[in-house]
């Protein structure tokens, strides 16, 4: 199965996704209104942010599989969306400014990003717990079979 992008589906474009979502009737609620006002109009108190415990980093859309249920349309053909080292360093700088104790690494099969090991090592050096959103089948690929022992 090919990704939406590879199939040239209009839904590969986030603008098309938003147009599709905005066309859904939400029982009279504003479809593209102010979230805070909508919450208040329903009698709920304003939402207040809590302490940041988990810092999630999506490092790309490259994946060894293409799944119909994938909400980000990852696949083997999504090589252009792999996070580069410069952006990864910016993420680490942002992480350093937080109280997060856990880093959740996601994005396609994160292990396929060439900077994955570096990212994990840097997070561990900072004393962070690391969650790897792994599909497990990627661990059978050449060059990645040592990851279970390394992680």
Count of residues making up the chain: 151
d(CA 103, CA 106): 10
The answer to whether 61 and 4 are in contact (CB under 8 A) is no
The answer to whether 54 and 104 are in contact (CB under 8 A) is yes
Write out pLDDT tens, residues 12-29.
888 888 888 777 776 666
- pLDDT bucket at 61, cuts 50 / 70 / 90: very high
Write out pLDDT tens, residues 100-145.
999 999 999 999 999 999 999 999 999 999 999 999 999 999 999 9
């Amino acid at each position: 199965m090919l990704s939406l992008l590879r199939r040239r589906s209009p839904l590969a474009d986030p603008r098309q996704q938003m147009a599709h979502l905005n066309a859904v009737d939400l029982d009279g609620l504003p479809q593209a209104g102010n979230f805070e006002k909508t919450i208040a109009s329903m009698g709920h108190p304003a939402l207040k942010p809590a302490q940041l415990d988990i810092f999630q980093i999506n490092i790309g859309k490259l994946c060894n599989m293409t799944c119909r249920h994938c909400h980000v349309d990852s696949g083997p053909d999504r090589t252009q969306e792999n996070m580069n080292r410069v952006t990864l360093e910016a993420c680490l700088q942002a992480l350093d400014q937080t109280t997060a104790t856990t880093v959740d690494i996601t994005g396609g099969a994160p292990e396929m990003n060439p900077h994955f090991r570096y990212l994990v090592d840097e997070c561990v050096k900072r004393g962070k717990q690391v969650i790897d959103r792994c599909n497990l089948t990627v661990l059978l690929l050449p060059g990645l079979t040592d990851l279970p022992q390394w992680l």
